[in-house]
Homo-oligomer: A and B are copies of this chain.
């Protein structure tokens, strides 16, 4: 090593320590300010103050940094201090594993979801179409040991002229079929005005991908008194998804289950791309249970088994899957739903074979 460099580095080492002591003192004072702000209900972020500080610093700048570099560096310093202030606010980010270390377990009709419990399987048709259709599915799924039935009474459809669901009548059919077969009823709510009716009939409310950013709906669902499955938006970042859950928790609902359902990418062989990294990251960063919707993520029956295995291996606490007595005549999602025979093959090929076997009876095909 060149000795000129060695000499210069000694002075750098001194400066580093001088910087550290001043940064630490500065942060301690910032924390004190933060406490006063919290007490007074003020925001920690005061852009006018920040701008004034930057102007003072730029005016004092004699180089070699450009003014822009000085601003940039001190913005980092401001941000680091503000993060400290934020961490003092205990109520901040209720979704975070830092504020709630242990796994949240949501219990639905005696079935625990999350934590160390066995992965749950939520199955049923895309849409509730008739008493006969739903009764057949409910009987079949119950015979296979499934405990939660999904079925849509309100369907978000891209085309306004497509079948939009049976509405309130669908909710009643769902409740009846579940009661008849000892199942819990999971259904999507699309409209804040429908939250009371959905909460009355269903055991779990679902917020769909198209409504993940519908903050009005999130706030109403937060007050519904029912557990919620929150799907990730079509192209929502993980951060946005967790913040949508934060709307639910901060609104008073602690029984929140996340559901990854594939994101939009350039790939054409699959309808969406199942993002297993997102599953793993929300398990790391939040304490909430997370499911994978294997029907919508791939959009292909031949991927249901591998996506189930991959999702559970990444840490998911369960799976959602669409099952219909006769997919070819379904009023929606024709190509994605599987029939009873295919569902049995699916169970055989996954760990759900063992998990669900106890209560199983041979209704279908008998």
Contacts and interface: CB of A to CB of B under 8 A. Distances in A.
Interface stretch (A26-34, A117-125, A145-153): A26-34
Interface in A272-316: 273-281, 283-284, 297-298, 302-303, 306-307, 309-315
A274 to B, nearest CB: 6
B314 A19 contact: no
Given A5-B33, A30-B12, A239-B158, A313 B309 contact: yes
Contact of A307 (B211, B217, B314): B314
Contact of A215 (B5, B16, B190): B190
A322 to B, nearest CB: 16
A303 B329 contact: no
A53 interface: yes
Contacts of A156: 213, 215
A158 B244 CA distance: 7
A22 interface: yes
B48 A65 contact: no
Contact of A191 (B27, B29, B74, B216): B216
A259 B155 CA distance: 26
B238 A269 contact: yes
Contact of A32 (B8, B18, B24, B40): B8
Contact of A237 (B70, B160, B214, B267): B267
Contact of A267 (B191, B214, B278, B310): B278
A101 interface: no
Chain A at the B interface: SS class = helix
A311 B276 CA distance: 9
How many of chain A's residues touch chain B, expressed as a range? 35 or more
A179 B160 CA distance: 37
Contact of A84 (B29, B65, B160): B65
Interface string A25-61: 1111111110011001000000111110100110011
B22 A15 contact: yes
Most B C-beta atoms less than 10 A away, residue of A25, A63, A192, A213: A213
A90 interface: no
B277 A328 contact: no
A161 B92 contact: yes
Interface stretch (A75-83, A102-110, A336-344, A355-363): A75-83
Interface string A180-218: 000000000011110000000000000000110111110
A213 B211 contact: yes
Interface in A132-182: 156-161
Contact of A160 (B72, B250, B264): B250
A243 interface: yes
B266 A36 contact: no
A312 to B, nearest CB: 7
A348 interface: no
9 contacts: A20-B57, A24-B64, A28-B64, A48-B328, A76-B76, A234-B236, A237-B266, A270-B281, A306-B315
Q: Which 5 A-B pairs have the closest CB atoms?
A: A235-B235, A210-B213, A280-B306, A313-B313, A309-B313
